[in-house]
Amino acid sequence: MSSRTCPDWPDLMELAPELQFKHYTVAELQLPADALMKVGGVPLTDVAICCDLEKHVFYAPHTDDRIADALRSSHWFEVRDWIRAGRPGSLY
């Protein structure tokens, strides 16, 4: 487990064991331009996102609300929406 690993990982493992959630600043990620345009004026080096980068799934309770709202309008999923959608891109 790395220092970026989400502290809620035990609960997240219950929800989606195939995902690995880590904490990042938005500036560290290459988020979709259409999502970033919706959060203009937000200091991206200070704003947090908790996500599985490979599957494009984020965990809303640990993601800045402005970023979560913007990601919902892109190809990213909030973990509970990802589960309801049948785990797109998953082997399960």
| Residue-wise DSSP of 2-13 | -TTB-TTHHHHH
Per residue in 42-86, pLDDT (tens digit) is 888 888 899 999 999 999 999 999 899 999 989 999 999 999 999
Reference 15, options 91, 85, 81, 79; nearest CA is 79
pTM listed for this prediction: 0.88
Residue 25 phi, psi (nearest 5): -90, 155
d(CA 43, CA 76): 21
Residue in the block written with tokens 């200070």: 46
- pLDDT of 1 strictly over 50: no
Residue pair 74/33 in contact by the 8 Å Cβ criterion: no
- pLDDT of 91 strictly over 80: no
CA dihedral 34, 40, 43, 46 (to 10 degrees): -40
pLDDT at site 19 = 96
- pLDDT of 8 strictly over 60: yes
